[in-house]
Amino acid sequence: MSEEPENTAPETPVEASAPTDTPPDRLAANPRSPFHQPALLERGVGIRFDGVERNNVDEYCVSEGWVKVAAGNSRDRYGQPLTIKLKGKVEAYFRT
C-alpha cells in the first residue's frame, strides 16, 4: 500500500510567470511576420547596431547578426516598404 500526499497540485515555476529582461533572439515590427510579438513591442525594444543606436529597425536577429531597415520611401507593389538587410553586431535591450 502506497500513501499519497494530500496536496498533489502541480508546482508552477516562478520563472515562467515573470517577464525576462532579455528580448528575444529575433523580433519583427511587421504584423505579417511570424516573429511579430506585439506585447514585447509595446514594452519597448531598443537596438544597438555596430555600437550605434538605431530607431528605424523593422526586424532583427541577434544570433545571425543582421537587422532589416526600410530602404528610403520605396514601396513594393503591395504597398509594403522595401527593406535592406544590414549585417553586423546586434544588441537588443528593453528600454523600460
Q: What is the pLDDT of residues 14-34, one digit of tens each?
A: 444 356 788 999 999 999 999
Establish if 6 belongs to a structural domain.
no
Average pLDDT over residues 58-63: 96
Q: Is residue 90 part of a domain?
A: yes
In this structure, is residue 70 part of a structural domain?
Answer: yes
Residue of higher predicted confidence among 9 and 34: 34
Residues 6 or more apart whose CB falls under 8 angstroms from that of 71 comprise 81, 82, 83, 84
Tell me if 4 is assigned to some domain. Answer: no
In angstroms, rounded to a whole number, what is the distance separating the alpha carbons of residues 32 and 93?
A: 23
Task: Tell whether 21 is covered by a domain.
Answer: yes
Read off the pLDDT of each residue in 49-66 and give the average, rounded to a whole number.
96
Which domain covers residue 36, as residue numbers? 14-94
The total domain count for the chain is 1
Q: Has residue 72 been placed in a domain?
A: yes
- Asked if the structure places residue 30 within a domain, the reply is yes
